[in-house]
């Protein structure tokens, strides 16, 4: 099983990205309900989903650019922790969602899922 990201963009499109309290408070990230500014306390922001990264109209992360993370060096901790071949139990559900999504894409197109080539 590979640990190399082929930058298919699946994990950056299928899930909501939760910012930590510190990440949210920094105001560095584009979030849902951005127009309301940083909501305090953090529990209130969590309650209404204001601590989630914003999404594009196609449901992809607002920072996803041509299959690549546009803020790779400063991406949220949850993005650093996750990899689609992880064996960690806490990510088992997400890994399965990605597996199903790729299987459905394959079945729908009759062709392999397009992947972004790694930058050399
Ligand atoms: S699903 Fe896996 S291969 Fe695709 S972008 Fe995410 S980590 Fe990379
Ligand atoms: S911040 Fe980067 S790694 Fe995280 S979901 Fe968005 S594009 Fe993907």
Closest Cα to atom 1 of ligand 2? 75
Q: What is the chain's mean pLDDT, rounded?
A: 87
Of 40-44, 77-81, 98-102, 107-111, the one with minimum mean pLDDT is 107-111
Q: What's the confidence (pLDDT) of residue 112?
A: 44
Q: State yes or no: pLDDT of 63 exceeds 60.
A: yes
The more confidently predicted of residues 45 and 109 is 45
- The rounded distance, in Å, linking the Cα atoms of 11 and 1 is 17
Q: State yes or no: pLDDT of 117 exceeds 70.
A: no
Q: For ligand 2, say whether the CB of 71 is within 6 Å of any of its atoms.
A: yes
Average pLDDT over residues 75-89: 93
For the chain, domain boundaries: 10-109
The structure's pTM equals 0.84
Average pLDDT over residues 66-93: 93
Q: State yes or no: pLDDT of 114 exceeds 60.
A: no
Residue 89 near residue 40 (C-beta atoms within 8 A): no
Closest Cα to atom 6 of ligand 1? 11
Q: For ligand 1, say whether the CB of 11 is within 6 Å of any of its atoms.
A: yes
Q: What's the confidence (pLDDT) of residue 66?
A: 87
Beta bridge partners of 46: none
Counting from 1 in the atom list of ligand 1, the atom nearest the Cα of 67 is 5
* 110 Cα to the center of ligand 2, angstroms: 28
Q: For ligand 2, say whether the CB of 75 is within 6 Å of any of its atoms.
A: yes
Counting from 1 in the atom list of ligand 1, the atom nearest the Cα of 84 is 2
Which one-letter DSSP state was computed for residue 90?
G
């Amino acid at each position: 099983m590979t640990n190399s990201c082929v930058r298919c963009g699946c994990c950056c499109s299928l899930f909501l990205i939760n910012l930590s309290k510190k990440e949210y408070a920094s105001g560095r990230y584009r979030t849902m309900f951005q127009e309301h500014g940083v909501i305090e306390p953090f529990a209130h922001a969590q309650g209404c989903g204001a601590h989630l990264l914003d999404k594009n109209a196609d449901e992809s992360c607002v920072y996803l650019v041509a299959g690549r993370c546009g803020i790779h060096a400063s991406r949220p901790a949850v993005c650093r922790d996750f990899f689609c071949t992880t064996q960690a139990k806490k990510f088992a559900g997400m890994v399965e969602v990605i597996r199903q999504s790729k299987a459905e894409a394959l079945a729908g197109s009759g062709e392999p899922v397009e992947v972004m080539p790694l930058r050399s």
